[in-house]
Amino acid sequence: MYSFPANLFCDVRIEQVYRSILRIEMGKLEEIKEKNDTGAFIRIFDGKRWFYSSTTDIENIQNEIDSLATLADADGMVAQHPLIKKLQANQGTYNNFSGNEVESVSLGDKRKLLDSYLNLIENDSEITHWSGIYTDNHSQKQIYSSLGANLKFDTQIAGLRVGVRFGSGKNVFSESWCKAKSSFKELETLHDEAKNFIEQARDFFHNAEKIEGGNYTVVLSPMAAGIFAHESFGHKSEADFMVGDETMIKEWKLGKKVGSDILNIVDSGIVAGSGFCPYDDEGTKAGKTMLIENGKLQGRLHSAMTAAELQEETTGNARSVSFEYEPIVRMTCTYIEPGQKTKDQIFAEIENGIFIDSVKHGSGMSTFTLAPSMAYLIKNGKIDKPVKFSVITGNVMKTLDKIDAVSDSLEILSFVGGGCGKMEQYPLPVSFGGPYVRVSEINVQ
Amino acid sequence: MKETVRQRVRQTSLSLVKNSIQAIRRKDICKTGCRLIKDGKISITGGLGKVNEEELFAKAEKFLAEAVEYPVEPGGSLSHKTDLSGFRISDAELCDKIENILQQLKTSHPNFYISNKVNLSSIDYSIENELGLNLSHSDTYLSLSFLLKESSSTGIMDTFFGVAQRELDETRVVDAVNQIIEAYQNKLEAIDGEIPVIIDQGTLTRLFLRDLNGKMVGNKASLFDGQFDQQVFSEDFSLRIANDPIETFSPAFDAEGTIANADLLTLIERGFIRRPYTDKRTARQFGFMNTGCAGGNYDSVPSLGTCMLEIAPSDKTLKQLLQGKMGILVAIASGGDFTPDGMFASPVQVAYLTDGEKLIGRLPEMTISGSIFDFFGKNFVGVSSNKFYCAGDERLAVVNLDVKKL
């Protein structure tokens, strides 16, 4: 397809993306758009340095390859470079959404769907501000390389977000219900869930009380557990942070105990939803990677470069936010695996604790934080009342070790309208989840 | 009425891994948005690269019936040009200078790794229409983002240096990073009690982005509902919309082509909440003044999003604001947030003790907390007249806060 320069590695990633978005705010249509964009990202490696170019001029990719090659030093040994040996040369066409493409649904039908959800909140006298968004994205990617890769595959996501704000002045509360699926059709029957969520938010608005900060036993919902897994541990599993760093390699040696015995954390690109990524942006096939198994470090996330550096296998986690960026090591769907206890058992064993149900955002370095949206006091094994505070925080490793129960059912959550950020690349679609996870002690502020 | 938005981004990006340039990325991406404003509606189409604008306008016309209502006057009879693109450096020269900086820092601090990105960006952005609107903005600047990690550390990163500027003064960069690393290595004991905390303005002002949004205020959904034209904050505290391209690295005009009058940029004046920030449609709907804060992508309906805010600086330097005391400079505070009623709490992962001119040493992790009404009320000291290069070359806010060891 392309004439690749001699004695250099080269690959080309072409992305054709269909997107649509409808946004309604306080009853008024604010945005309605559907579009198709095409762009390409070209990489050349000479054994010492990478050279990248992004372009929208698809007809002149060959010229761009030739121009980029002039910056590199051709090396007859490049094919023997460990990094090149880690790159896969997959071939074939894998259309995962044939017959369910979001572009085959009219904007009129998307508007009707969004309206049907907004009917749940219109004319509600307690809601002082509201908005709703429908958005979708169908990306078709092609990857060609000097190693012989000739791969076509697609990813797709469609989702809804309904945001509400109750009250005014110092008595205000905002929440949003968000759900994403792999097809438009799967969004048609979630009204009861949305309605229940809005009513839960209303109850929180009316009844939430401030609580004193301090250390509590905390139960994390599947959403909170997923964000915790992603932010507090997942980013540390991205192997680009370990390259050439002897301290990190020693600290993150596989087999090391990093959490309680019941803790298992996974990243998988083959779970349906916003983290679905059957091949990464180097053309490597995705799979399920155990990051922590029975509390021990079991694996990490790799691109070809990091796999070569650490002499491990690729995992299909080299991803970019668009054709304008190079693939770097990123998560896909990150979750805590379920355990043995029922949700009721996990709550019943708590005398005085906190249940984090929904979360605004989280972050994690050596110290993690989760900023809850809806949280509840647990008294004598049961939810007592809604409570409000700014954040929970703690040392990541100590907290992983204090996980003392996980429930028996897994929930994976997918989203639209945001994603994961790393360095300059934001937002990357990811998903996350888990069971209900109990931590014996977390600081509440 | 036809209106065209054009955006071109040329960029050379260097990926840094352990004090060396691992990759060089270049891009040159053009984006064109064609807005058709007719019969009180706005229909927009857009495309990447080479586009046929007539075809895009024809497509916009086709979708006009289903388009978004836009019952405001489009911009017209206004010309404005900003050209800040004077900074010139070739890719080869950029690589040489960055490699020189990295090598110097490797020599002075062999136990620290520097990673992440250096981006040289040239931005051209314009809006023009058939009514005589002719606005353009060109800028060329360099963004340095250095993640600094001690070789013996088990963290992903330990501290940070980041700055955007229209020059590359290698000595200044090296001196700043040296100062940060040396302060990081000088571990100090924890300090408790009420202490002047020096913090980037955006960390504390972000609540205003939500609660001074014109739609929130107009719908009486704001935290500040009922408090307009009342003194809510310190008389030393004034908050305004930042729209100086030299400072913001963004156009002076918004996505609707509005350049707001200077007297409309002040949202909080000497503690009195005066007005929300708005775009044309929000201003019209609720009877507010248009403050020129329409945002959106090149092919989106321009609408009220967020804006850049700045606290009016005092006439005192950072050192003068500290009045001879030591202050705590918050370098990394990740994960904090406000509750809906304005209470804030955040862990501070990296903080330095400073006299306002030099970083003295690193303090243990701590927490900061309080109410927005106190931050900019009884606890507010001021914003420095000078910029602190080690902290992103920004004017920093000083607030007396109760600090607790984490």
pLDDT tens column, B246-255:
999 999 999 9
CA of B56: which chain A residue's CA is closest?
A35
Final residue in a domain of this structure, among A172, A207, A242 = A207
Confidence of residue A361 (pLDDT cuts 50, 70, 90): confident
CA of B338: which chain A residue's CA is closest?
A390
User: Tens digit of pLDDT for each residue in A264-323?
Assistant: 999 999 999 999 999 999 999 999 999 999 999 999 999 999 999 999 999 999 999 999
Q: How many CB atoms lie within 10 A of CB B54?
A: 10
Rounded CA separation A433/A227 (Å): 7
Chain A interface disruption, residue of B341, B369, B372, most A CBs within 10 A:
B341
Q: What is the mean pLDDT of residues B69-76?
A: 95
Confidence of residue A368 (pLDDT cuts 50, 70, 90): confident
Residue A173 lies in a domain: yes
Residue A154 pLDDT: 98
Confidence of residue A394 (pLDDT cuts 50, 70, 90): confident
Confidence of residue A389 (pLDDT cuts 50, 70, 90): confident
Rounded CA separation A222/B294 (Å): 37
Query: Counting one residue from A and one from B, how many pairs have CB atoms under 8 Å apart?
Result: 187
Q: What is the mean pLDDT of residues B79-101?
A: 97
Report residue A229 as tokens: 């897994």
The verdict on A371 and A420 lying in the same domain is: yes
Q: Do B27 and A53 touch (CB under 8 A)?
A: yes
CB A261 within 8 A of CB A339: no
For A208-280, where are the alpha helices, taking DSSP H only? 222-228, 246-251
Give the closest residue to B45 by CA, choosing from B61, B24, B65: B61
Torsion-angle region of residue A310: left (phi > 0), alpha (psi -120 to 50) or beta? Answer: alpha
Give the closest residue to A413 by CA, choosing from A397, A385, A432: A432
- Kindly list the domain boundaries of chain B, sorted by start residue: 2-185, 193-203+313-405, 209-311
CA of A39: which chain B residue's CA is closest?
B48
Final residue in a domain of this structure, among A178, A207, A236 = A207
Residue B306 pLDDT: 87
Percent of chain B whose predicted confidence (pLDDT) is above 70: 100
Q: Do B215 and A107 touch (CB under 8 A)?
A: no
Calculate the average pLDDT of chain A.
96
CB under 8 Å to A262, separation ≥6 — which residues? Answer: A294, A295, A339, A403, A404, A405, A406
The verdict on A132 and A260 lying in the same domain is: no
Report residue A226 as tokens: 């997923």
- CATH number of domain containing A159: 3.30.2290.10
The verdict on A136 and A257 lying in the same domain is: no
Check CB contact of A215 with chain B, cutoff 8 Å.
no
Q: How many CB atoms lie within 10 A of CB A85?
A: 12
Q: What distance in Å separates residue B22's CA from the closest CA in chain A?
A: 5
Check CB contact of A421 with chain B, cutoff 8 Å.
no
Residue B55 pLDDT: 97
Distance, C-alpha A192 to centroid of its chain = 25
Which residues between 48 and 107 in chain B have a beta carbon less than 8 angstroms from any beta carbon of chain A?
48-50, 63, 66-69
Chain A interface disruption, residue of B219, B330, B343, B404, most A CBs within 10 A:
B219
Say yes or no to pLDDT of B193 above 90: no
Q: Are strands A352-364 and A214-220 parallel, antiparallel or unpaired?
A: parallel
CA of B346: which chain A residue's CA is closest?
A391
> Can you name the residues that pair with A12 across neighbouring β-strands?
A42, A144
Pick B23's closest partner by Cβ from A50, A363, A366.
Answer: A50
Which residues between 342 and 401 in chain B have a beta carbon less than 8 angstroms from any beta carbon of chain A?
342-347, 349, 365, 367, 369
> Which DSSP helix (H) or strand (E) runs through B247?
helix B245-248
Q: What is the mean pLDDT of residues A160-188?
A: 95
Lowest mean pLDDT among A227-236, A363-372, B98-107, B110-119: A363-372
Tell me which chain B residues have a C-beta less than 8 angstroms from the C-beta of A390. 336-339, 343-346, 369
Residue A2 lies in a domain: no
Q: Are strands B359-363 and B350-354 parallel, antiparallel or unpaired?
A: antiparallel
Q: Do A107 and B66 touch (CB under 8 A)?
A: yes
Residue B253 pLDDT: 97
Say yes or no to pLDDT of A200 above 90: yes
Torsion-angle region of residue A123: left (phi > 0), alpha (psi -120 to 50) or beta? Answer: left
| Structural domains in chain A (count) | 2
Final residue in a domain of this structure, among A207, A242, A265 = A207
Q: What is the mean pLDDT of residues A87-93?
A: 98
Tell me which chain B residues have a C-beta less than 8 angstroms from the C-beta of A242. none
Residues in chain A: 445
Q: What is the mean pLDDT of residues B376-380?
A: 97
Tell me which chain A residues have a C-beta less than 8 angstroms from the C-beta of B71. none
Residue A367 pLDDT: 80
Lowest mean pLDDT among A113-127, A238-252, A324-338, B34-48: A238-252
Regarding predicted confidence, which is higher, A282 or B403? A282
Give the closest residue to A320 by CA, choosing from A392, A231, A428: A428
Tell me which chain B residues have a C-beta less than 8 angstroms from the C-beta of A32. 63, 66-68
The verdict on A194 and A228 lying in the same domain is: no
The per-residue b/e assignment along B195-214, b for 16 or more CB within 10 angstroms, e otherwise, is: bbbbbbbeebbbbbbbbbbb
Q: Do A26 and B215 touch (CB under 8 A)?
A: yes
Give the closest residue to B276 by CA, choosing from B323, B317, B228: B228
Say yes or no to pLDDT of A209 above 80: yes
The verdict on A189 and A87 lying in the same domain is: yes
Q: What is the mean pLDDT of residues B232-243?
A: 97
Q: Do B21 and A244 touch (CB under 8 A)?
A: no
Q: Which domain holds residue A13?
A: 9-207
The verdict on A235 and A271 lying in the same domain is: yes
Check CB contact of A156 with chain B, cutoff 8 Å.
no
Confidence of residue B402 (pLDDT cuts 50, 70, 90): confident
Say yes or no to pLDDT of A364 above 80: no
Report residue B245 as tokens: 């391209």
Rounded CA separation A396/A230 (Å): 12
Greatest alpha-carbon pair distance for chain B in Å reads 68
For A153-275, where are the alpha helices, taking DSSP H only? 191-207, 222-228, 246-251
Say yes or no to pLDDT of B245 above 90: yes
What CATH superfamily classification does B2-185 receive?
A: PmbA/TldD superfamily (3.30.2290.10)
Say yes or no to pLDDT of A365 above 80: no
Percent of chain A whose predicted confidence (pLDDT) is above 90: 91
